[in-house]
Chain A
Amino acid sequence: MSRPVTAGRALLVLAAVLFMGVLPAASQDAAERLLGGVTVEQVARHAIIAPQIVDYEGTKVLSILRGQAMETVTVSEAHKRPNRMRLEFLSPEEVAGRLVVDDGIQTWHYEPRLHVVIQGPTLGAQREGPFDRLLERYMISLLSLEEVIGRQTAVLSLKPRQGRGERRLWIDRTTGVALRTEERDPDDGLVSTTYFTRISYGLNFPDALFRPRIPAGARVVSPAEPSGPLVSVPRLQQAVGFAINAPQTLPGGFTLVGGEPVHGGPLRAAYLRYTDGARQVGLFMAPSARLGPPGRGAAVPALGGEARAMGWGPTRLVQWEARGVRLTLIGPLPLADLVQIARSLSGR
């Protein structure tokens, strides 16, 4: 039975509708005015394509939550468009001297303490995905205009529409480079920050700076076998030799992109990749009978006795077992959100 709607109630509903509809439009207008006629979306897009149009070199400070403590690392970072990178770690003492060169095809990491070079795939992949999809999945808003190391920045907030957590980016208004970033977790607060303490643009870096130079006598190793192109789930199933139950979507708006087999030492696993347009989630599966109990990490009672969780800044990993399969989820999500996805996969 429906109750008659009073005039007072109708007014309240009308006010709410007007508030919800008009205020964002008003704030959008205000942001556009602040940005001198540029929209927030245009600033975000500028940030995405910046690596392809600008070279830079600077000193960056990373602060990352590891367990209960923040670890601060200083690194000299050079970028050559579109996707080459050179990192020289300066501090703390434990990582000082570490050198990483990415030529856009492969990455070489030289560890001076061990005189070893670790080879791996490039981390300079093409970043410009479908921008419309990104806008569908994220709320992007302008928080303020601030000056960072003498440069004007637009401070953007990115919040997933289906999920929690927040990213804040201080985008250089001239170049589009993120001079400062923050990752905020609803449970743990600030889990990572990165910021340049100095930066120089438009330098004509020599190509040689982004080519690996293997030090004489250094051992070159490749601890994980190189991955191939993404394949469909049936083909992945054939490659790994066991059944894979892979949902097309995961809670939080993540959609399956494809899969690939993963080989490393005695471990064989199926790797499924999901994305929400920006964040990437990896789901790894391996038959439990071929694995020992999970060792490291904190217990996750919600996922069973042997479930474990670990984290590095915003990147979290949970491992658990369901129906004879060891599952591992990894992604830049709050732990509670990752556990929620895990529970949906296990039917808990």
Chain B
Amino acid sequence: MSGDRFERLLSAYLDGELLPEEMAEVRAHLDGCESCREELESLRATKQLVGHLAQPVLPSNFAAGVWSRIERPAERRWFWWPRPAVALAAVVLAVILVAVPLVRGHLDRLKAAEVGPDLFVRSYAPAAAEDPFADRAFITLITTDAGLRLLGEDPRGLRR
């Protein structure tokens, strides 16, 4: 049997709560183990110290009160009121869920209006080139400029 196991049995040994054969075994171990004897003395001193503390006087209805609280059915909560941080996070999430599509839709509408003329110039260019007297170099120039603006670039960027 290991020393750790004897240390765990010392408190029960002091209180006389071990089986007779365990009592004999602990006793035999204590004869040969100085550290366990010191631990036993330390435990004994602690128990004596605690035993000298004054006993608190409980009210006569203390036990009844405890039992009545144990046996009382759980109160039913009609409203769930979260903690403030959770409530704030929920509100922020709700605002984001509503605001993001609105803002995104608005930006898309603005973007659509902004790209409109350049997209239309590019879409129109092949038809313009069917004009038998149109200059293809000119059509190419305005088409490539429109393409650059659609990419968000200034066609004459070096002037910036």
Contacts and interface: CB of A to CB of B under 8 A. Distances in A.
Interface of A: 47-48, 60, 62, 64, 73, 75, 77, 85, 87, 93-95, 98, 100, 102, 107, 109, 111, 113-114, 116, 118, 120-129, 134, 158, 167, 169, 178, 181, 192, 194, 221, 223-224, 227, 260, 262, 264-267, 269, 271, 273, 275, 278-280, 282, 284, 286, 290-297, 310, 312-313, 315, 317, 319, 326, 328, 330, 332
Nearest to B142: A312
B140 A100 contact: yes
Nearest to B156: A94
B136 interface: yes
A280 B127 contact: yes
Contacts of A47: 132-133
Interface stretch (B24-32, B50-58, B78-86, B114-122): B114-122
Contacts of A109: 140, 143-144, 147
A319 B112 CA distance: 13
A85 B153 CA distance: 25
Contacts of B137: 60, 62, 75, 77, 87, 194
B9 to A, nearest CB: 79
A310 B127 contact: no
Nearest to A60: B137
Given A116-B151, A123-B140, A332 B134 contact: yes
B54 to A, nearest CB: 82
A109 to B, nearest CB: 5
B131 A278 contact: yes
Contact of B144 (A118, A158, A278, A286): A118
Contacts, number: 204
B62 interface: no
Interface stretch (B38-46, B66-74, B92-100, B103-111): B103-111
In the A-B complex, list the 6 residue pairs whose CB atoms are closest, starting with the nearest.
A292-B110, A292-B113, A223-B150, A266-B108, A267-B112, A264-B119
A330 B145 CA distance: 16
Nearest to B127: A280
Given A94-B159, A98-B144, A292 B151 contact: no
A127 B130 contact: yes
B147 A328 contact: no
